Structure 1
Amino acid sequence: MDIQLKKGLIEICVLASLKKNDSYGYQIIKDLSVCVAISESTLYPILRRLESSECLKVYTMEHNGRLRKYYHLTVKGRERIDEFLEDWDQIMNIYEYIKGGNENE
C-alpha cells in the first residue's frame, strides 16, 4: 500500500478509536489491531501530529502510581472524521475505476 495513503488512513483510524472514549497509546494500538497493525514508533508521531493540528487534546492521569498520557478527540478531530466519511464515495468511485480497469486487461 502507498505509504501516504496508509498514513492518512491510520490517522483517521486513530481518531475513530477515540470517538467513544479517551484512551492512551497502548490501548489505541490494541483497539486498532482489529483492522491494522501499528507499532508504538508509528503511533506516537501520529498522535503528536494530531495534537499539533488540534484534532486531539492530551492530558495526564495517574494510573498505578505512574502518570499516563490520555488522548481526547476534539471537535476538530470529529470534523476530520466527518470529512473523511464525506469523501468516501469519491474514494470508492476511484477504487471501482481501478478495479474495473484491471479486469479489462
Structure 2
Amino acid sequence: MDTQLKRGLFEICVLAAIKDEDSYGYRIIKTIKPYIDISESTLYPILRRLEVSGLISVRSSEHNGRLRKYYHINQAGKERLCAFSEEWREISAIYQFVTREANSNEHDSNEQS
C-alpha cells in the first residue's frame, strides 16, 4: 500500500479511536489493534502530527505516580473525520470501478465453463 495513503488512514483511525473519549497511547493501540496492526513506534509520531496539525489536544495527568498523556479530539479533528466519511464514498466508488473488470472477467470465465 502507498505509504502516504497508509499514513493518512492511520491518522483517521487514531482520530476515530479518541472521538468518544480522551485516551492515552496504550489504550489507543488496544482500541485499534483488532482492526489493524499498529505499534507504539507508529502511533506516537501520528499523535504528534495530529497535535501539530491542530486536530487533537494533549493534556498530562498523573496516574500511579507517573505522568500520562491524554489525547483529546477537538472540533477540527471531528470535522476531519466527517470529511473522511465523504472522501470514503469517493474511494469506494473508485474501488468498485477498478475491481469491476476483475469481477467481470471472473463472471465471463464462469459463463464460458
CA RMSD, 1 decimal = 1.0
Q: In the alignment, does 2:13 pair up with 1:13?
A: yes
Q: After superposition, what is the alpha-carbon deviation per residue over 1:66-87, rounded to whole angstroms, capped at 9, x for unaligned?
A: 0001100000000000000011
Query: Which letter maps to 1:10?
Result: F
Q: In the alignment, does 2:88 pair up with 1:91?
A: no
Unaligned runs of 5+ in 2: 106-113
> C-alpha distance in 2, partners of 1:35/1:76?
24
SS of structure 2 residue aligned to 1:68: strand
- Aligned residues, how many? 105
| TM-score normalised over the length of structure 2 | 0.88
Q: What pairs with 1:18-97 in structure 2 (closer than 5 Å)?
A: 18-97=18-97
Quote the offset at 1:104 in angstroms: 4.2
Cross-structure match for 2:102: 102
Larger radius of gyration: 2
> C-alpha distance in 2, partners of 1:67/1:93?
45
Runs of 4+ in 1 over 3 A off after TM superposition: none
SS of structure 1 residue aligned to 2:57: strand
